[in-house]
Chain A
Amino acid sequence: QSVLTQPPSVSGAPGQRVTISCTGSSSNIGAGYDVHWYQQIPGKAPKLLIYANSNRPSGVPGRFSGFRSGTSESLTITGLQAEDEADYYCQSYDSSLSGGVFGGGTKLTVL
């Protein structure tokens, strides 16, 4: 059971927009700690997609954006492409562990 909670799956047609939520508790997201997102293509290592809630590393398309509202964090992908089909994980810092915690992952299917 993961510390952060994500929907198990989402789907969308090419060109559409999808949003993946990530919720936590008072020892992580609820405490105001930053949230980061990773993309994992099946069989590959995770790749940093968004850091510190809304920042994209160099090379990540602008179609990927992160948004924080209070204690809730979300990843939005606009203009869906077939290559976006992957698992997406959120991650934050947890004060009770003094370390990193992840969500259970969300499988994105591009219809």
Chain B
Amino acid sequence: QLHLQESGSGLVKPSQTLSLTCAVSGDSVSGGSYSWTWIRQPSGRGLEWIGHISHSGTTRYTPSLKSRVTISADRAKNQFSLNLTSVTAADTAVYYCARVVVLGSLMYFDHWGQGTLVTVSS
């Protein structure tokens, strides 16, 4: 059974770097045919796709965050990570990791982690 679990700092100071990790069990971040993604949701608002990393290590990012985002994978630990630099209060949100089904332009998120709240505040 697939399980994703986010971890990382829940409080980040403005201008610093937000770092989160998603531990995956029940599938391989590098051995299968899926991609792995980060999605965020500010309190009381909708969902925003941040980016994803494929099983082969190829990354895609949403243009509005591309200059500040890095998604990477650790095959040995079977986990993937999110780094978001120069954060502001606008980056405060619940961050979800999820598995992505990607086949050309077919793209959807079939399994999600429980989410972790990250607050940007001094």
Contact = CB atoms under 8 A, between A and B. Distances in A.
B96 A104 contact: no
Interface in B27-59: 37, 39, 46-49, 51-52
B46 A105 contact: yes
A52 B49 contact: no
B106 interface: yes
Interface of B: 37, 39, 46-49, 51-52, 60-63, 96, 101, 105-115
Given A33-B105, A99-B61, A101-B49, 17 more contacts: A34-B108, A36-B108, A45-B114, A46-B112, A51-B110, A52-B106, A57-B110, A91-B47, A91-B109, A93-B106, A97-B49, A98-B60, A99-B60, A100-B49, A100-B109, A102-B49, A104-B46
Interface residues of A, number: 26
B112 A99 contact: no
Interface of A: 2, 33-34, 36, 38, 44-48, 51-52, 57, 89, 91, 93, 95, 97-105
